[in-house]
A = this chain, B = another copy of it.
Amino acid sequence: MAGVSGLTPKALRTRERILEAALRLFAEKGYEATTLRDVAREAGASLGLAYRYFASKEEFALALYMRLAEESEEWVRDGLVGGTVAERFERAMVAKLDQVSPHRGPLAALLSRSLDPNSPISALGEGTVAVREKMGGVFLEVVRGASDAPGEKQARELGNLLYALHLAILLYWFHDRTPGGRATRDLVGSARETLRYLRPALRLPPMSRVLSRLAGALGNVGMNATAPPAEESGEAR
């Protein structure tokens, strides 16, 4: 819907202008309070034009999240070196929290809407494949690059699980009213501890099976951030 590929340079520039205006207004007045008419006016465009590039208001938030995901991808490649799975997950989450901090409003709206299975931007639907794969890849890299990385199959399962966990933590953060998001930081610390505690157990068949089940359960509802090993590539069905 809001794919960037196959757009004329001019179209791209216009899209960018409108997105820029939208994000500026979201930051200024908040997501709910910002009208698409406001956005169009701010961008010096017409209302209809905004809809040429963004199928819905939520897609602005989705575009924002896509940007942040691209940043994360770069960051995890260049800035995240060494460490165990547990440590790397914590560092990645702390970085993620710092990154999303200025965008609470739009992202909260996005995440909650995306949990509605009927929404066009359902977190598990067609419209979010790209961003899902991008962020899924980030957490796959978190696992793969770790000093205690498991084998490829389990790495994929664990990557998917961490991706899901990252969404849960973001959801938690949106509800966290403690100053500076202290509670969420604590939660991330707890997650690190639990991961550290659990990681060795993953070598044992019972725990390995629990992980597989969990990853399978996520896959059953379409939450394969990473493509399943069997099929060709890309699509998750």
Residues of A that sit less than 8 Å from B by CB: 32, 105, 108-109, 111-113, 115-119, 122, 124, 171-172, 174-178, 183, 186-187, 190, 194, 197, 206, 210, 213-214, 217, 220-222
Other A-B contacts than A32-B118, A183-B220, 7 sampled, CB-CB below 8 A, are: A109-B116, A109-B118, A112-B116, A115-B171, A186-B220, A190-B213, A197-B206
Query: Is A220 touching B178 in the complex (CB atoms < 8 A)?
Result: yes
Do A117 and B108 contact each other (CB < 8 Å), given the known contacts A217-B183, A217-B190?
Answer: yes
A129 CB to nearest chain B CB (Å): 15
A67 CB to nearest chain B CB (Å): 21
Copy tally for this chain in the complex stands at 2
Residue of B nearest to A183 (CB): B220
Query: Is A221 touching B115 in the complex (CB atoms < 8 A)?
Result: no
Residue of B nearest to A172 (CB): B221
Residue of B108, B113, B194, B210 near A194 (CB, 8 A) is: B210
A52 CB to nearest chain B CB (Å): 24
Residue of B nearest to A219 (CB): B183
Contacts of A210 in B (CB 8 A): 190, 194
Contacts of A109 in B (CB 8 A): 116, 118
The 7 closest A-B pairs by CB, nearest first: A112-B116, A183-B220, A175-B221, A112-B115, A187-B217, A117-B174, A190-B213
26 contacting pairs across A/B (C-beta < 8 A): A32-B118, A108-B116, A108-B117, A108-B118, A109-B116, A112-B113, A112-B119, A113-B116, A115-B115, A115-B171, A117-B175, A122-B175, A124-B175, A172-B217, A172-B221, A175-B221, A175-B222, A176-B220, A176-B221, A177-B221, A178-B220, A183-B217, A183-B220, A186-B220, A190-B213, A197-B206
